[in-house]
């Protein structure tokens, strides 16, 4: 069983030529383990999975699993809009030692609820590795309804869901239909605290890429019902959350990590660098929070 708490939706670091920075990936993993992050989610939306090659994908999984060495769970994004391909990616991740897989709803072809059920049912048949459903209709164009989640929760390998609608009524609807050990993780940083206060088990977080300790502390405050501590953390994080939603994820979070000197400036098309009108705001917010210790130019906008 995966633990409750704070998971990071890890970026895939790239240099100015958009080649993956393999040693930097290990540095990021070390940083999160030291910060207390309770799990890594690799090759998701934030990790630019759609533009990662098959060879790169295998190495990212292998390097991450090998380096983590069982210290925290490694969850691999394996969802596609092809059931066959999804099953293949699950099997690859399992073979390479992943602790679990995260499966988004099929995008673009937009199946019915019956189609969604059968897609995830087939995925659950090919592995004993735990699977997390992932509902993010704003990106996929299809919504995994609570009654479908209820049916899928009966499968022994389907152990939870990343629910990214930001709708707390949706959380309550799912809670009523699944067992207490079915893991309910927020996929929306802006509502994650309220999600956990309402009975959710944690968050798969984008903002944890740059403030892992703050995100962990917020999760702890929510799960321990400590609103005083949570309010202080939210005061710090809210300006960051706002600017990090200015453009499509992972554009702003990779810019922020670049400003922190944590990663290179690479970002693969069709994603493009953060627009100039948001760059100064991001820098100002990070500066006010004491995250920037040195001056750094905005070469990111021009060096690709």
* pLDDT value for 304: 33
Please identify which of the residues 7, 134, 193, 300 carries the catalytic annotation. Answer: 134
d(CA 112, CA 115): 5
Would you say 132 and 183 are in contact if contact means Cβ atoms under 8 Å apart? yes
Percent of the chain with pLDDT over 70: 96
What backbone phi and psi angles, to 5 degrees, belong to 132?
A: -110, 130
**Active-site hit among 162, 254, 258, 300:** 162
Q: Which fold has domain 5-226?
A: TIM Barrel (3.20.20)
- Per-residue confidence (pLDDT) for residue 44, from 0 to 100: 97
Residue 129 has phi, psi (to 5 degrees) of: -70, 135
- Catalytic status, residue 121: no
pTM over 0.85: yes
- Condensed to tens digits (0 to 9), the pLDDT of residues 70-90 reads 999 999 999 999 999 999 999
Buried b / exposed e along 228-242 (16+ C-beta atoms within 10 A): eebeebeeebebbbe
- The structural domains of the chain, with segments of one domain joined by +, span 5-226
Does 172 qualify as catalytic in the annotation? no
Residue 301 predicted with pLDDT over 80? no
Dihedral, CA atoms, 149, 151, 153, 157, nearest 10 degrees? Answer: -120
Show the CA angle centred on residue 271, arms to residues 269 and 276, nearest 5°.
Answer: 125
């Amino acid at each position: 069983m995966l633990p409750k708490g704070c998971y990071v939706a890890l970026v895939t670091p790239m240099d100015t030529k958009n080649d993956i920075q393999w040693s930097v990936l290990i540095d990021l993993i070390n940083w999160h383990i030291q910060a207390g992050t309770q799990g890594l989610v690799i090759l998701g939306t934030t990790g630019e999975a759609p533009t990662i090659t098959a060879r790169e994908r295998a190495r990212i999984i292998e390097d991450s699993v090998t380096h983590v060495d069982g210290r925290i769970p490694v969850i691999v994004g394996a969802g596609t809009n092809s059931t066959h391909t999804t099953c293949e990616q699950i099997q690859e991740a399992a073979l390479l030692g992943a602790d679990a897989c995260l499966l988004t709803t099929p995008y673009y072809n937009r199946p019915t609820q019956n189609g969604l059920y059968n897609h995830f049912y087939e995925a659950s048949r090919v592995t004993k590795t735990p699977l997390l459903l992932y509902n993010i209709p704003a990106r996929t164009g299809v919504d995994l309804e609570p009654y479908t989640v209820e049916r899928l929760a009966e499968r022994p390998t389907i152990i939870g869901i990343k629910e990214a609608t930001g709708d707390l009524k949706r959380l309550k609807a799912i809670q009523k239909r699944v067992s207490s050990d079915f893991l309910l993780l927020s996929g929306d940083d802006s509502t994650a605290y309220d999600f956990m206060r309402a009975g959710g088990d944690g968050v798969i977080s984008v903002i944890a890429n740059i403030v892992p300790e703050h995100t962990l502390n917020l999760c702890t405050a929510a799960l321990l019902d400590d609103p005083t501590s949570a309010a202080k953390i939210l005061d710090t994080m809210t300006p960051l959350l706002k600017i990090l939603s200015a453009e499509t994820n992972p554009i702003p979070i990779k810019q922020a990590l670049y400003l922190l000197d944590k990663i290179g400036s690479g970002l693969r098309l069709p994603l493009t660098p953060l627009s100039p009108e948001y760059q100064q705001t991001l820098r100002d917010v990070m500066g006010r929070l004491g995250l920037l210790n040195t001056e750094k130019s905005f070469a990111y906008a021009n060096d690709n």
